[in-house]
Amino acid sequence: MKWTLSQLQKYRSKGLSIDETINVDGIKEVDSSIRRVSPMHITGRTDIDSKKVTFHLKIQGHLVLPCSRTLVDVDYPINVETTETFLLNVSEYETGEEEVHQVKGDVIDVLPIIEEILLLEVPMQVFCEDITEEGAPQSGRDWEVIHEQVQTEKVDPRLAGLAKFFENE
């Protein structure tokens, strides 16, 4: 997703439509919790004038992340809309409150910005819906994962003798 400024100036009057599928496997090296990345479908348009180039993008795809409880793979959908502005001449334009990017050389590369947006979309915790597949161990030496229903039915063997105390009266 690279364009030279001369390529973009050809679309100055009518704008540039974007409909591409890109591979962003490089984000797995930055965030080791990402197990797989589907190809991302990028759609949108570009507004081009003499001072700036603005990309209005929609990013769709899936990330495969580990479940926070069981470590099984969870398919996490990505559906993000963003507007990214590149300044052609920094000294002539006042940025105001919006975030803008500077053009380095005469090439605009949107891929690093898309990768950054995807990394920001990774949640801190992901939970799988169905627990049919066991990922993390559910028991070990002197411990086990208990569910609330099982806990209420079970009586601690150390306190079993107290239950007999009230039966005598």
pLDDT at 76 over 80: yes
pLDDT at 21 over 90: yes
Instruction: In whole angstroms, give the CA distance from residue 37 to residue 35.
Output: 7
pTM here is 0.71
> Could you tell me which of 15, 97, 27 has the C-alpha nearest to residue 61?
27
Give the residue extent of every domain in the chain.
2-121
Instruction: In whole angstroms, give the CA distance from residue 25 to residue 145.
Output: 35
Provide, rounded to the nearest whole percent, the portion of the chain with pLDDT above 70: 82
Does 76 or 8 have the greater pLDDT score? 76
